[in-house]
Amino acid sequence: MTANVGIVGIGHTRFGNSSEYDLADVMAYAATDALQDAEFLERRREIDQVIVGNMASGLFCHQSAVASSLVSRMDMEPVPAELVENGPASGASAIKIGYMAVASGMADIVLVAGGEVMRKVSGWTATENVATMLHTEAEYNMGLTLPAFGGMFTRLYMEKYGLTERDLALLAVKNHKNGAKNIYAHIQLPCTIEAIADGPEAAVVNNYIAEPLRMYSTCPVSDGGAALLLVNMDSPKAKYFKKQPVRIAGIGSATDTHCVHNRKDPLRLEAVRLAAEKAYRMAGVGPADISFAELHDAFSILELAISEEVGFFERGTSYLAVRKGETDIDGRLPINSSGGLKAKGHPVGATGVSQVVELVRQLRGEAEEGRQVKDPRYGMSVNFGGFGNNVVALICAKVEG
């Protein structure tokens, strides 16, 4: 089912440490920004549906029913509101459900907000909370964590394709360079290859997290919120919005085995490939049409593996493209212009929405100086749930005025 759904408002908090604030307030701030951006704040009770993406407010904040809470913070009652949970892909799933609400005819205007406050708890507890998405008996009970799977996946890739730790460091340098220019990024500091790979102190600065993954190949634990206002562009209500919309051209999602060890080829991310294929089909485009992409680099290896699964590069060659600068802002196919999860941060429930906020900023030509992609037409995001067991791919298109 396709519909003519436009994004007419975006909002985003600066990712980082919001641990002194309530999750609903963090999401409400981003949502209010999105409504202001759409010049629709005063008419917010005319919104047909609110969809909230959040992974684990119960674990991180001891808080439930956050969609109801958000609506009340924004004085939007009686607008209907529901929560969508899909692990770290909750944000993109919320957008997908918002799109489906419009496509079904049940709603013309949908507010989608994603958020997570993870830093109320210690890093030790955060690692534990995130690990609960693993298979309870066969993974979580073993003491496994998401970084441990990232490390094991990285080793497989290195041994098969010749990737080096220095190549992973090059990804960090690229993404931190972009993040340093992004006002919403958690970490707004560039880093050098000398500091994290080549220099005498590199092994200390860039210590191992889950070998061969180092700290600069792993995203930070972040708090934050992001929001979008979706509108049925074929509805009479579309005339309320003056800004040129960005169109949601394609959405696809797919699942894979819960246990990573049960995948036929543990180096394949089948759910990524299938989700991307569906999104391409729906949008009527292919990998060659994509101008830039936001890929879920919770671990740097995933930026590489996802870029291959979605068809940007031949298998096992994406790191060679990174060496040549092809994925830099001024390269052939910029990837993670926002800084990615590595530098922008990864508040798990917010990330999928945040990726699409970046697509909209780029397609509007509103990214900061030095990280604006040149003349983009199509942007793609891939939001990765679990260790690749529930993935959402999304394609946004510029609408020519």
Question: Where does this chain bind other proteins (CB under 8 A)?
Answer: 122-125, 127-128, 131, 135, 137-139, 141-145, 147-148, 151-153, 155-156, 159, 207-213, 259-262, 266
What is the closest distance, in whole angstroms, from the C-beta atom of residue 132 to other proteins in the complex? 9
Residue 36 and residue 47: Cα distance in Å, rounded? 14
What is the closest distance, in whole angstroms, from the C-beta atom of residue 382 to other proteins in the complex? 23
Query: Measured from the CB atom, is 135 or 176 closer to other proteins?
Result: 135
Query: Measured from the CB atom, is 265 or 369 closer to other proteins?
Result: 265
Residue 247 and residue 232: Cα distance in Å, rounded? 10
Closest among 177, 243, 160 to 216, alpha carbons compared: 177
Q: Is the distance from CB of 337 to CB of 292 less than 8 angstroms?
A: yes
What is the closest distance, in whole angstroms, from the C-beta atom of residue 299 to other proteins in the complex? 11
Burial of 181 (0-12, 13-18, 19+ CB in 10 A): buried
Query: Measured from the CB atom, is 109 or 209 closer to other proteins?
Result: 209
Query: Measured from the CB atom, is 195 or 267 closer to other proteins?
Result: 267
Query: Measured from the CB atom, is 2 or 262 closer to other proteins?
Result: 262
What is the closest distance, in whole angstroms, from the C-beta atom of residue 173 to other proteins in the complex? 22
Q: What is the DSSP string of 112-176?
A: EEEEE--TTS-HHHHHHHHHTTS-TTTTGGGT--HHHHHHHHHHHHHHHH---HHHHHHHHHHHH
Amino acid at 254: A
* All residues at 6 or more sequence positions from 264 whose CB lies less than 8 Å from its CB, including other chains: none
What is the closest distance, in whole angstroms, from the C-beta atom of residue 140 to other proteins in the complex? 8
Question: What pairs with residue 380 in β-bridges?
Answer: 293, 395
What is the closest distance, in whole angstroms, from the C-beta atom of residue 119 to other proteins in the complex? 15
Query: Measured from the CB atom, is 68 or 127 closer to other proteins?
Result: 127
